[in-house]
Amino acid sequence: MKIKGSVVFVTGASRGLGLAFAREAVVRGAAKVYAGVRNPAAFDQPGIIPVKLDVTDPASVAAAAELAKDVTVLVNNAGIAEVTGSPFADVADEHARRIFETNYYGVMRVTRAFEPLLPEDGQGAIVNVLSDVTWRTVPMLAPYSASKAAAWSYTNNIRVQLKDRRIAVVGLHVGFVDTDLTKDFDVPKANPLDVARQVYDALEAGESEVLADEGSKELKRSLSLAVPGYIDPEVLESK
């Protein structure tokens, strides 16, 4: 499939990686690009149509799908992250409920609403933004990690479900991306535009998964080890 001539809807597109996805779709010649945002009045990007969207609100999701019935490519980018401190913290269950509502149930809601709209001629696609913490053990991010692991499983299941309808499903695994959300973290970060380009390249090449940085690639390789990185993080630190 090609992004050129497609109609792309990106959730969580007001800034960061979501905005990069929307802008790159415009550059690649998409016929139309929708940006799912909480406040359309504050969004002003040439060639991109803002659509009010709160992925935690079923009515908002339904209204967005009703407005954008011509969508051919859905990018589930909207997500939140919180530092819990410990998997046993008093706030861990509260954080988990809030994070899952966006990162897992939000993906499910949006996908369920848009999936019937996608074409079955090989030009329909869903992109789910996942994370390297699907495979990386980070105790202070345990609820967030669990939400992304759940979203990864969901991604793999819908890929199989939609295969006969020729709707592509791409899962993106990436660590820190250089956005406002990560500005206070002194760690290596991927360029959001580069990540968006990798995903669209993979989609156009018929691939199903994108490992957008070296850290994610190393994590994926470790899964076949007798003691993988998610059991013993020192396996990764020794490489």
Residue 144 falls in the annotated catalytic set: yes
Q: Token pair of 134, please?
A: 């699907």
CA distances from 9 to 34, 35, 111, 187, 201 (A): 5, 6, 11, 30, 17
Pick from 44, 45, 48: nearest CA to 68:
48
Q: Which of 193, 126, 194, 128 is CA-nearest to residue 163?
A: 126
Could you give the CA distance from residue 160 to residue 158 in angstroms, rounded to a whole number? 5
Outline where the chain has alpha helix (H).
16-27, 58-67, 92-103, 105-114, 142-162, 192-204, 214-222, 234-237
Counted residue by residue, the chain has a size of 239
DSSP class of residue 179 equals S
Q: Which of 104, 105, 144, 230 is catalytic?
A: 144
Residues with catalytic roles:
144
